[in-house]
Structures are given as C-alpha cells and as structure tokens.
Chain A
Amino acid sequence: MKGLKIIVLAKQVPDTRNVGKDAMKADGTVNRAALEAIFNPEDLNALEQALRVKDKVDGSTITILTMGPGRAAEVIREGLYRGADNGFLLTDRKFAGSDTLATSYALSQAIRKIKDFDVIFAGRQAIDGDTAQVGPQVAEKLGIPQITYAEEVLDIKGKEIIVKRRLERGVEVVSVTTPVLITVHSSAADCRPRNAKLLMKYKHARTITERQDATEDYLNLYQTRPYLNIDEWSTADIVVEDEALGLSGSPTKVKKIENVVFKAKESKVLSPSDVEIDELMKELIENHTIG
C-alpha cells in the first residue's frame, strides 16, 4: 500500500485548565502571560492517531501545520520529537484577531499550498475557545468530508478509512474514502511520549526567525542538516485575500467581557451534630423542600 500523506493541525494554547489567581486582570480580561503555553490537549490525541496510521502504513508522512506567533514553533518541535516528519508555522501580524472563520480560511489556504494530502487530523477543539469549529470549517473550505469526535482509527484499506466516533449518547463506526478531515476526541488514546532519539535529532530544529538569534556555529548546522529547518510561512507565501484575514475577516466581534459573578447568599453554618441535622431536616420537611 502506498504511504499516506497526513497533515496534523495543532495549536499552541494557554493552559486554561490551570488558571491561578493572577490569570485574570482586575478589569476582567485574561492575563495570557500568566498562563503556560501548551500543545492543545486534543491536538495531541490527534497526533497519536496520525502516528498510529504512520506505524501501520509504510511510507506515510506526517506534517504538522500550526498558526500562531513565532513561539508556536514549539508545537512543531514537540511533534517532531514524537514522530512527525516536518512542519509549517503559519505566522503573520495580519492573522491577529482572527476568529474561527478567518483561521479556517488561512489554514485551508496553507493546506492548498501543501497540496498533496490524504488525511487531515485535528483535535476536536482547543481549550482556549472550546468552539470545535475550525476542523469542520477547514473541511468545508477544502470541499472534503469530515469525521468529527473520532476515538480511534480502526482500519485503513487503500483509500478507505474506518473510524470509531464518540458521540454524546453512544458510538458510531463510519467508513470514508480519502481525502478526509478527522477531528479527534479527548477519549482517544493519549499521545506517546517524546522519543529520545528524535529529541536528539530535532532539538535544534528552528524556524528562520528563530535562527536569527543563532550563533555562527549553528548556521552551518542548517546547511548540513536541512531537516532542522522548520518552514515558516507568512501571508506572502500563501494565496490569500487580505480582507478575509484577521479582524476584517472575522464576522464575530466581542462586544463585552465580564467576570462570572454569582449572587452571594447569606448562608447558615451548621455543625454535623445530631441536634443540628435533626433541626435542619425538620425545617426542610416543614417548608416542603423535601418529603
């Protein structure tokens, strides 16, 4: 069987699961600097499914595609350490303020430039927005089918892929012929750890911007070992209409951000003594809350 060309969409996100006290500013906005930047968890689940396909079908390759600021190259290196073959960082000030529609447009245009692909894997959703929109939106723009909430790729026979989906109330097994975009659910297998050999091989992998800070010695390294180059694309490298990018390409606008406030109640504090619990129960039965 011919190897599959796989693209994994990955995003670097602030770790909203571990929000400390200093994560929110006094005005109710988010202090992104106080949150650690991590590989979006479900994108790691997606990478693992891609790696399993690569393990199974000889000659398959995995390309990581990410959009974000320069430091997002970190997710590409993480992918390389775990078995991806190369990566593209899509980075440009013009992407700033993109909502999911503008993001999916930029990503789909980058995928058109990569051109040759069979399967695109992505996490179901990113933890900084939880929208689950970018995957399906990219699929629509590319005119390919989507399989959302994948838990496991069960089988691959030529161009046919069998996938198990995890739905709210059950499971579904579906088949599809490539090309297809598959979003992966958190119930899928965890991603394998970094591979020590790959870590050694790719630890100096850098984008061209990152290399500007490198010393003379390192510059030679990139000539002798081209695989250490992480491709960096700006809007000049892909075919895009500027007005479909960033804020102008984003139909959704944030009108207002508020802290979550709950009306505090004056609570009655009880001890777990028999007398007090007995009294409480009498009261609740009398006022028909229970019983």
Chain B
Amino acid sequence: MNNIFVYCEIEDSQVADVSLELLTKARSLADQLSCKVEAVVLGSGLNGIDKQLFPYGVDVIHLGDDKRLAPYLTLPHSTLLKQVLEQEKPQIALFGATSVGRDLAPRIASALKVGLTADCTSLEIGGHSDKKANIEYENLLYQIRPAFGGNIVATIINPETRPQLATVREGVMKKEILREGYKGVVKKIDTDKFLSDADFVVKIIERHMENKKVNIKNAGIIVAGGYGVGSKANFKLLFDLADVLGAEVGGSRAAVDAGFVEHERQIGQTGVTVRPKLYIAVGISGQIQHRAGMADSAMVISINNDRQAPINQIADYVIVGDAAEVLPKLIKYYKKNSK
C-alpha cells in the first residue's frame, strides 16, 4: 500500500521513453521512502510488456489489455486508472507531460479531488512545516517546475491529499535499468467490469502519427541556432556543420517560431531538454527558458555578435562574430585538423 505509481504510455508495443524515465525516478524515490514501484499499463496486445518494465525496478504491473484501449482515449483510460488508484491508494502517481499525460492526469486529479503539478523538471522528497496550523509533514513529494513563463522555479507540495500527482517532461530525467533480472508480479485489470459504452462516446476517425525523425535528446553533439541565424537559408550552414561533426541540429523557440527550423528540434523549457558533451549555440541570445533546456551540456560554444548575450555566461568558448563567417571556418578547420 501507499506505493509510487507510474502511468506508462505505450507506443507501437514499446513502453515510451518518458515512462521509463519516470520509472527510473520512481525507483529511486521508492528506495528513499521504503516503498514499492507499481506501473499501470493500459493498451492492446501487451504480451511481453512486463519484460520491458521489470528491469527498471517495477514491483507490480497493473495490466489492462483490451483492444478498445489503443489508441489512447481519455475516458476509458481515466475510468480504469481511477479504479486502480482508488483501490490501491498510492502516495504518489506520475505521468509523462505528453499529449496523453496532460490529457489524462487533470481528469484524474479532478475526480479524486487531489493536487496535480504539471510539467515538473525535478522531483525530490522532503519535509514541510506548516507554522500556521502547527503541523509537521514528512516525506512529501517536492514537485519542482518552471513557472511564470519560465522566469522562476517553483517547488509545489500537496501536504494533505493523496496520491500526490505530477506530470514530468520528457528527457529531463535519466532512463536507467536497475537490474536485468529484477522480477515483479503482474496483476490483470478486469476491463469489462469497469468500462461501459459511455466511455466510448469519443471515436477516432483518422490518425496520422509520425515517427520521430530527429533524436536531439540523445545526441552527443548539438548545433543549435537562434533567431540571430537570420533565416531558414542560413540554417543550412548549421546542418552542414552538423553533418561534418556527426551532430544533430536544434533550435531555440524564437528560431522555431520564425519558421527557420522544425518544431521537433526545439530545445528549452517548451521543447526538449538536452545534455550533450558539446553544445554549439549559434545566434542564440539565451533566454532563461532556453538555457534551462541545455545548461547541463558538458561544453558550450557560443557564436554570437553580441558579446553580452546571456548565453555567453554559461559558455566555455565565446566566438564573437557572424554565423555566416564563423560556421564555414569551423567546417574548414575541423576538416583540416581531423585528417
């Protein structure tokens, strides 16, 4: 009882990365709290899914395998998840801050009348003293998230209600297998018992999902451009450099909004969080929201006309100059020296 639950998303019979990241985090929180990690998996054709989950330190899998559960629909998933949570009474339940998690979690929070924090970038365990009511709380979930357009970071707690619900952005936590041989138990959910026709009032007519074409999250080197790159045409220079270095190309929100580069390459609080060994920031001024998504890069090179750009404060090297001048030289001298 009172364990940590993770709602796991399934994409093409695979557990989504964000769910595995959450399980990894849940495992370490559970060790701190001396409790178990339980996964809730709802979908269709889920044979063998336990083999993907157990190595992350999952003790119990609540499995709802029913062809009506895929693709995801709000009502059947929320009906079943609500059942499981009401019955099992976890202290914490985590969701990915994805199209699915951000659709499902608020529905659950509203039904259970509990607190929910969206888009957390960090989770910790800690105490709290409510001096007014003279109550000491122990082992609360600190839900840490950017707030107010990313200009501040807030730590949110739910002292009184359980479970404590949070959604967590993809890529901000590490995915790590605990032990290959780790074994838990599978508990089947009797979907027919809980689902009714009313849960299927929304019908999917068409669905076009694209596979992720780019994988900037796991790239070792990233060449990222900002508004200062100037145009979509100039972005080609970034792709040229990335080709030569074996890097991926990313963009700031300003560059994406201006249409210089696709949305899936966006780095920062509203995009992907990255931590490559080398981050080359080209014409990026480095608003807080952008820096929050790349500040953990091992090395940062900033190429910028503006010596005072905020990004330069966290750069190891600052090249003061134009992208159009500097990038071809980087390519030229990389080629020269790597031979």
Contacts and interface: CB of A to CB of B under 8 A. Distances in A.
| Chain A residues touching B, majority SS | mixed
Taking residues whose C-beta sits less than 8 angstroms from the other chain, chain B's interface range is 35 or more
A281 B118 CA distance: 42
Interface in A13-39: 16-17, 19, 23-24, 28-30
Contact of B319 (A167, A260, A272): A272
Contacts of B116: 100-101, 131, 133, 252
Nearest to B170: A168
Contact of A170 (B74, B107, B110, B207): B207
Given A16-B149, A285-B337, A272 B317 contact: no
Contacts of A118: none
B150 interface: yes
A248 to B, nearest CB: 10
Interface in B182-209: 201-209
Interface in B126-150: 128, 142, 146-150
Interface string A247-289: 0001111111111101111011111101011101110110001
A149 B125 CA distance: 33
A253 B156 contact: yes
Interface stretch (A58-66, A174-182, A208-216): A174-182
Contacts of A256: 154-155
Contacts of A198: none
A273 to B, nearest CB: 9
B335 to A, nearest CB: 9
Taking residues whose C-beta sits less than 8 angstroms from the other chain, chain A's interface range is 35 or more
A219 interface: no
B299 interface: yes
A193 interface: no
A281 to B, nearest CB: 4
B300 A145 contact: no
Contacts of A127: 149
A45 to B, nearest CB: 15
Interface string A127-153: 111111111111111000111110000
B102 interface: yes
A135 B98 CA distance: 16
A49 interface: no
Contacts, number: 240
Interface in B48-77: 71, 74-75
A173 B203 CA distance: 9
A257 B153 CA distance: 6
A1 interface: no
B278 A265 contact: no
A156 interface: no
A269 to B, nearest CB: 5
A104 interface: yes
Nearest to A104: B110
B205 A255 contact: no
A114 to B, nearest CB: 19
30 contacts: A16-B148, A24-B151, A100-B109, A101-B109, A128-B149, A131-B118, A131-B119, A133-B116, A137-B107, A139-B107, A140-B111, A145-B202, A147-B202, A148-B99, A167-B99, A172-B208, A173-B205, A174-B205, A175-B202, A176-B201, A252-B157, A262-B295, A262-B313, A265-B313, A269-B320, A272-B322, A272-B325, A281-B330, A289-B278, A290-B334
Interface of B: 71, 74-75, 78, 98-99, 102-103, 105-107, 109-111, 113-119, 128, 142, 146-161, 201-212, 221, 245, 277-278, 288, 291-292, 295, 298-302, 307, 312-322, 325-326, 329-330, 333-334, 336-338
In order of increasing CB-CB distance, the 4 nearest A-B pairs are A16-B149, A251-B115, A272-B321, A137-B110
Interface of A: 16-17, 19, 23-24, 28-30, 99-101, 104, 127-141, 145-149, 162, 167-177, 250-260, 262-265, 267-272, 274, 276-278, 280-282, 284-285, 289-291
